[in-house]
Structure 1
Amino acid sequence: MIEIYTTLIFLFVLFALLGGSVWIGLALMGVAWVGMELFTVRPAGDAMITTIWTGASSWTLTALPLFIWMGEILYRTRLSEDMFRGLAPWMRFLPGGLLHTNIAGCTIFAAVSGSSAATLNMVGKMSIPELRARGYPEFMIIGTLAGAATLGLMIPPSLTLIVYGVSINESITKLFMAGVFPGLVLAGLFMLYIIAWHYLGKGPRPTPEPHMSLRQRIAESRFLVPLFGLVFVVIGSMYMGFATATEAAAVGVLGALGLSLVQGSLSWSTFVESLLGATRTSAMIAFILMGAAFLSLSMGFTGLPRALAGLIDSFDLSPIALIAVLTVFYLILGMFMDGLSSVVLTMAIVEPMIRQAGIDVIWFGIFLVVVIETAQVTPPIGFNLFVLQSMTRHEISYIAKTAIPMVGLMLLMVVILVLWPELATWLPDNIRRP
């Protein structure tokens, strides 16, 4: 009974602060402060200072601003134009035509971005006008882009997986490996949806693209070489054991600067803009993580996570039933909070539950990302919906409606992960780093 009252107090303070438009990081610190003052004898100020410094000085966390900076640099290059030009010759003959460039482009750029918003901006600013000019249906252009952009959260390097790994003290490289196959399978599901629309959907189809010889297609593919080279250097260096996630991120920043310099898009102003953009985003995420670290300490002193885990265990839920409950929980939470906040806010309570249920924490990280991906395109706080609204000037309701099939495919991906967990665990379990 005490645990119920404690939980209610935590929730009341949290929603009161969030409802008062207090920043999420400060709200988490405020809840933790109240918990320390009411339920422990340890000085709250001393505990907060120690915990925040320890959480903010994590070496693993240094990968986060570097990957963000890499994405900011690439966003200011001509990479999106080159990527569309290199992909289009190979996508145009598939059923559904150039709509597949949305999926393939997001999949490739996700491998150097780590952010769904950056992926959406990068691919969308080129593909939307090109596809509109060719007569593709608006609802397919927007719907496929909304869904495919979420791949930036799963395909490494993923900012969400970095935050999750730091929260539970798990290997970032293993989590990155675990995201590869599920990310590719989800991209395949999106492409199958386009093919199904081509054969079963109603309405006119765009005029077929003119024929291109194999030689011409190969020649156009040269525009993909810089991006694929950067992907190979960043991701390959981690998987082959030559670099940690942080070292690979540093190499990625140098590679992105080199690409922008060669393209002629690197100037002092773009360099400063990318640095400031990365600083703002990194500071926001770090602030949330600091608050979450203090909240985890506060909850640990109260014994609330252990008590709630024990309560869930008393229900004798099977691992699959627990996953079903957590799926609904994170979908509801994701309707009102962004993905990173959802992760750091809940890990103190959810981690003991999944460990006690015998659920693999690497697998759970991928499951969590898929569910958070779904929340990115569901109203009222679907972040990708707002990004698309700013790009297309459509109503949120229209954009959300176009994304409904993609939401269904992401929920299908959750089922696939439950039925075949090896999809996420095989690669990190079998790749031996030197």
Structure 2
Amino acid sequence: MSVTFSAAIVLGLLGLFLGAGVWIFSGLMLVGASAMYLVLDFNAARIGAIATKVISSSAISWELAAIPIFMWMGDIIFRTDISQRLFRGLAPMVARIPGGLLHTNVLGCTVFAAISGSSTATTATVGKITIPELQARGYDLRLASGSLAGAGSFGLLIPPSIAMIVYGVLAEVSIAKLFAAGVIPGLMMAGLYVGYIAIMSILDPSRAPKYEGEVSAGALLRGALELVPIMLLMVVVLGSIYSGIATPSEAAAVGVFGAIVITVVTGQFSLQLMRDSLMATIRVSAMILMLIAASAFLSAAIAYMHLPTKITQGISAMQLSPYGVLLILAALYIVLGMFLDGTSMTVMTVPIAVPLIVQAGFDPIWFGIYLVIMIEMSALTPPVGLNLFVLQGLTRRSMGETVRAAAPFFLLLCLGTVILAVFPQIVLWLPSRL
């Protein structure tokens, strides 16, 4: 059976089941089973045996333990006043930069991303404090909400990142090196956002009214003290990984302990907080792990059909340049991002995309960061851009206005991707030092 026909069946089944509103986990399982039956003529017993073997093996990976533990750490912090402390701590530090307090969105999300791992949680946590404050002080709401939409996606790029853990497990690459690879690109994107906000504020000073608060040495010191708990948590978690003292899963456990200590020291600990954070973590973690298991089964079906090899050979025969391959994948991810969340995009595409990328001469660690940025873009594209929904709830503006506000930061993500493609050492330098 030709690769075109096999691929058409798989894509048709995906469109049928996912378009019908079937849960993504169930949809992927049904696509895998149907493809095995229709294309490979496997009987039910054989399909069941493959499913049992693949799902059980994919669900016992030690690296996957980091997902629920990191999510629990982030959810504990989400339920504290850390976002308020971030705003109070960063406000005097950015007051004299063109754009003023608008930069608290970017820097606040950059810092919070280092303990969250979730784009949506980062956007919601920082935004629930900064958006009302910026509105009350007369800042341009369009620039405020757009910068929050873009910077909120740093929850995926700056480690620890749930998306990186999922990719690392599926692509069989070092999660610690992926974490290291995301640091400099994350700071670079933050720099692009800060630069854009500063330029827009210089061109139109009415976008960012002059800061009325105190900007003395004492105010800066008090601001720095507000940031101490979250900075200590970042150092403990990321430092233990990069120093080699702990694996990502072990560092996540240390992070949970640190988050609990913060709630105790700041007087916010309660059994209700622990219960709520644990239940939220169980729900989201179960969803992610089910997607990974279903993806493993679909990947097995695709592998039995030899689709990754045939597609790689087909694209190689087209004699595209490495950047041509990246451009095709970018277009694919932007389209998928309009309809799927980041985890679903990752688990559905990695089995085919990674062989293509390796064939084109790119490092799989580098591609992991590229993929994360593509997922960040999906958070800013309607109709299923999760950050857009969060922003719409915070600002009470229409979806059209929210999309227009986020558009410049979507373009900055595109610019960042081009820079990383031209200068891959921005991604690979730090991992090479581990």
TM range, smaller chain: over 0.9
Using the alignment, how far apart are the partners of 1:340 and 1:37 within structure 2? Answer: 26
Residues 1:375 and 2:359 are matched in the alignment: no
- Aligned positions of 1:12-23 closer than 5 A: 12-23=12-23
In the TM superposition, residue 224 of structure 1 has moved relative to its aligned partner by: 0.4
State the match for 2:184 in structure 1. 181
- RMSD of aligned Cα (Å): 1.2
* 2:68 and 2:285 in contact (8 A); partners too: yes
CA displacement, residues 28-73 of structure 1 (integer Å, 9 cap, x when unaligned)? 1111101222233470001001111111111000000111111110
Displacement after TM superposition at 1:203 (Å):
4.3
Structure 1 contact 147–406 (Cα < 8 Å) conserved: yes
1:195-243 superposed Cα distances (whole Å, 9 cap, x missing partner): 0111113746413324421133112310100000000000010001110
- The answer on whether the counterparts of 2:322 and 2:361 sit within 8 Å (CA) in structure 1 is yes
Judge conservation of contact 1:134–1:207 (CA < 8 Å) in 2.
no
Query: Structure 2: how far apart are the matches of 1:315 and 1:62?
Result: 41
Q: What does residue range 159-174 of structure 1 map to in structure 2 within 5 Å?
A: 159-174=162-177
Deviation digits for residues 349-393 of structure 1 (CA, Å, limit 9, x no counterpart): 111111112210000111111121111111111111011112222
Note the alpha carbon deviations across 1:318-365, whole angstroms, 9 max, x for none. 111111111111111111111111011011111111111221000011
Distance in 2 of aligned mates of 1:96 and 1:339 = 31
How far apart in 2 are the matches of 1:219 and 1:31? 56
Counterpart of 1:297 (choices 294, 300, 316) is 300
2:331 aligns with: 328
Partner residue of 2:424?
Answer: 421
Residue aligning to 1:8: 8
The match for 2:132 among 115, 126, 129 is 129
Matched, 1:237 2:240: yes
Specify the alignment match of 2:37 in structure 1: 37
Structure 1 residue aligned with 2:103: 100
Amino acid of the structure 2 residue aligned with 1:10? V
Deviations 1:80-139 (A, max 9, x none): 111111111101111100000000000000000011111011101111111111110110
3-state SS of 1:403 partner: helix
CA distance in 2, matches of 1:323, 1:410: 15
Contact 2:80–2:263, Cα closer than 8 Å, also in 1: yes
Q: 2:398 & 2:123 partners in 1: Cα distance?
A: 17
- Matched letter for residue 30 of structure 1: L
* SS of residue in 2 equivalent to 1:243: coil
SS at 1:207 equivalent: coil
* Pairs within 5 Å for 1:245-260: 245-260=248-263
The residue number in structure 2 matching 1:89 is: 92
Task: Kindly provide the amino acid, as one letter, of the partner of residue 30 in structure 2.
Answer: G
* Residue pair 2:101, 2:211 contacting (<8 A) in 1 also: no
CA distance in 1 between counterparts of 2:379 and 2:207 reads: 30
In 2, the alpha carbon distance for the partners of 1:280 and 1:351 equals 29
Q: Does 1:404 align with 2:412?
A: no
Q: Which residue of 2 aligns with 1:69?
A: 72
Amino acid in structure 1 at the alignment position of 2:31:
V
1:155 corresponds in structure 2 to 158
Residues 96 and 204 of structure 1, relative CA distance in 2, 3 Å threshold: closer
Quote the Cα distance in structure 2 between the aligned partners of 1:227 and 1:291: 36
Is 1:355 paired with 2:353?
A: no
Report the Cα distance in structure 2 between the residues aligned to 1:204 and 1:369, rounded to whole angstroms: 31
- 2:168 counterpart SS class: helix
Paired with 2:194 and 2:210, the residues of 1 have a C-alpha distance of 20
Code of the residue aligned with 1:193 in structure 2: it is Y
* TM-score normalised by L of structure 2: 0.97
Greater alpha carbon shift after TM alignment, 135-144 vs 227-236: 135-144
Contact 1:96/1:198, CA 8 A, preserved across alignment:
yes
Amino acid at match of 1:417: L
Q: Name 1:53's counterpart in structure 2.
A: 56
Please state if 1:117 is matched with 2:107: no
Which has the higher mean CA deviation after the structures are superposed, 200-209 or 56-65? 200-209
Note if 1:226 corresponds to 2:229.
yes
TM-score, normalising length from structure 1? 0.97
Q: Percent identity?
A: 45
SS at match of 1:394: coil
The whole-number CA distance in structure 2 between the counterparts of 1:365 and 1:276 is 30
